[in-house]
Amino acid sequence: MKCPFCGKDETRVIDSRPADDNTSIRRRRICDSCGKRFTTYEKVETIPIIIIKKDNNREPYDRSKIEAGILRACHKRPVSAEQITKLVDSVEAEIFNMEKREIKSREIGELVMNKMKDLEPVAYVRFASVYREFKDINTFMDELKDVMNKEAPGKA
């Protein structure tokens, strides 16, 4: 590993442990030339996934897009950052477990919605309204009725 301070490649690992997310390894290193310490992260290389958008354009998978959509839906809702991270991790794990090189954005949206139903109903409806592109109030009301029926059967 090349030292980020002096550029020499005589470095050694002095400590190794799993990173916070348990999907990578955090390594503390020391440069034998300049004596400075730095941290590196080692992560398993996965096959690149291509997302097929609604208009059939293709783009590389980007975790931050899923996270941004969930964050918008959860804005001012009682959902912690940790819950959002776990939800994104769960969706991402399912995406990678499919072992497909190309996946439709629709499939990802459905995965997110299925998990958001259990997390927070208002955030779920917000996400669904954007994702499913509700065209009118009736479509919105139908989705609300479904959520209400699942929360309290017989009360809608």
The total of other beta-carbon atoms located within 10 Å of residue 16's CB is: 12
Q: What is the mean pLDDT of residues 124-150?
A: 75
Give me the half-sphere count of Cα atoms (radius 13 Å) on the Cβ side of residue 153. 0
Does 35 have pLDDT greater than 80?
Answer: yes
Query: What rounded mean pLDDT belongs to the chain?
Result: 86
CA distances from 16 to 40, 82, 111, 154, 155 (A): 10, 24, 34, 55, 55
Mean pLDDT of 90-103: 89
Residue 156 confidence (pLDDT)? 43
Which one has a higher pLDDT value, 145 or 77? Answer: 77
User: What are the tokens at 111?
Assistant: 């995965």
The fraction of the chain above a pLDDT of 90, given in percent, is: 47
Average confidence (pLDDT) over 76-105? 90
End-to-end Cα spacing for the chain: 62
